[in-house]
Amino acid sequence: GGNAFPNNAPTRPPPNMLGMTDATNLSPVDAYLRQHEVTASGDNVPAPFMTFEATGFPPEILREIHLAGFSSPTPIQAQTWPIAMQSRDIVAIAKTGSGKTLGYLMPAFMHLRRCRNGTQNGPTVLVLAPTRELATQIQDEAVKFGRSSRVICTCLYGGAPKGPQLRDLERGVDIVVATPGRLNDILEMKKIDFRQISLLVLDEADRMLDMGFEPQIRKIVKEIPPRRQTLMYTATWPKEVKRIAGDLLVNPVQVNIGNVDELAANKAITQYVEVVPQMNKQRRLEQILRSQERGSRIIIFCATKRTCDQLSHAIGRSFGAAAIHGDKSQGERDYVLNQFRSGKSPILVATDVAARGLDIKDIRVVVNYDFPTGIEDYVHRIGRTGRAGATGLAYTFLCDQDRKYAADLVKLLEGANQQVPPEVRNMAAGGASFGNARPGMNRWDSGGSGGGAGRFDSGGSGGGAGR
Ligand code: ADP
Ligand code: MG
């Protein structure tokens, strides 16, 4: 710990600040960053590799890429490759399907070329991923694109016998892709040698944390030599992920793909925001559900798995709802998704993490039953509706503990030409003046599960601590 972690201030102006500037006045690099909504914060961020030729990858790797039919790097690849190839730590925040796997595998191959020594058996690169499915997908990609570099890669995951996995390790490998649980088991058996690891990748960090892998991850990382490069990929940036990034990465460059303002400008989504105390949320939700056309597909986002279960149970009888969250098995998830897609249970109650990566179309309504941990997540959630020319509705409940997001939210609503109810505007104004809790504005005690740092962040409890 103790390393300086960059705040969110980008070193380049974010695209929206360029306002009405004539795009032709931008340098090619700035035009690229703006077009692809790339922001990077950190010291001396190198320019993105806008083409594969710019990467300096050896011809055999370029051939593999050509064979795969790819025409240019994806934005996350373009911006993270040059940074990773400077051996710097990175935290990359980009949504599913943005090409993150090759985003770290290509630098890993380059890294292996530099430091390969034929005599060692232990891996040089370790990739941690949340699930067996993901780990095997990564392995497949590593085999496919690493073939020409003669990269040896193996995959360690639970639910399969250890024997073959241990045999692969004994034969010697360059890259290990592993789920934290199984790797920890093998580590405790002293069947893996970590001394050569010099590149660590945490893929889908937010999901690993949501699945409860934090203790295993920390145990594993403690065994890896500290002189290493660490790359972290995540689709969201909640405080749990920030904390572990602060502990495991050294002076990272933060790269974001996607822009809040762009999505906010999606005027096809009508955004309703209302102040609803915790204890009234369920009743208000039921009113909203009753007012929708029958059979409309609706996603309701909750903050916790517990709320998900309780709520889907409570509204399930009248409306046909199912819950999806990180504690559900793959089989249960598949079942719930099929029920949702087929319209048998048109209401899905979900946590952010469970909903991530699900390509669910034709969603009419998004309900933010609990406000997410940040305005970016708000935008991603409501972005699930109003796609491809369809119109969508988003309902959002704000309660007192969400006060700290109110100002951002008001800005966003205004930017998208949406109505801002006076009580939301009030909350935004109140949230900006720290310290003085106004009577009637402070309902922590009715919230029950509020808890956590949030209530202190917004400073409602007096003391006038200021910022
Ligand atoms: P993520 O990890 O961000 O969800 P993946 O790494 O799984 O995304 O990539 C999504 C898909 O895009 C994969 O099928 C991958 O082969 C493909 N892909 C990766 N890089 C490129 C590229 N530069 N151009 C086109 N497709 C790509
Ligand atoms: Mg991925």
- Residue 265 in tokens: 């400008």
Instruction: Tell me the pLDDT tens digit for each residue of 49-77.
Output: 999 999 999 999 999 999 999 999 999 99
pLDDT in the model for residue 390 = 66
> Which one of 74, 98, 207 would you pick to mutate in the ligand 1 pocket, going by the greatest count of ligand atoms within 8 A of its CB?
74
Q: Above 0.95 for ipTM, yes or no?
A: yes
What percentage of residues in the chain have a pLDDT greater than 70?
A: 81
CA 77 / ligand 1 centre spacing (Å): 9
- Identify the residues whose C-beta falls under 6 Å from ligand 1: 70, 73-74, 77, 96-102
CA 306 / ligand 1 centre spacing (Å): 33
Instruction: Tell me the pLDDT tens digit for each residue of 113-166.
Output: 988 665 567 899 999 999 888 899 999 999 999 998 899 999 999 989 999 999
Inter-residue contact 315 to 286 (CB < 8 Å): yes
Mean per-residue pLDDT of the chain? 82
> Which whole-number Å values give the CA distances from 34 to 192, 244, 379, 414, in the listed order?
44, 29, 18, 22
Strands 253-257 and 38-41: antiparallel
Inter-residue contact 317 to 288 (CB < 8 Å): no
Inter-residue contact 408 to 381 (CB < 8 Å): no
- Residue 386 in tokens: 């109003």
CA 208 / ligand 1 centre spacing (Å): 20
CA 140 / ligand 2 centre spacing (Å): 12
CA atoms within 13 A on the CB side of 392: 27
CA–CA distance, 34 with 112 (Å, rounded to integer) = 33
Nearest ligand atom owner, CA of 356 = 1
On whether the pTM is more than 0.80, the answer is: no
> Which whole-number Å values give the CA distances from 92 to 255, 328, 417, 423, in the listed order?
5, 27, 31, 36
> Which one of 80, 96, 102, 106 would you pick to mutate in the ligand 1 pocket, going by the greatest count of ligand atoms within 8 A of its CB?
102
CA 140 / ligand 1 centre spacing (Å): 13
Asked if residue 226 has pLDDT above 70, the reply is: yes
Low-confidence winner among 47-56, 189-198, 336-345, 417-426 (lowest mean pLDDT) = 336-345
Rounded to a whole number of angstroms, the distance between the first and last alpha carbons of the chain is 23
For ligand 1, atom 1, name the residue with the nearest CA. 97
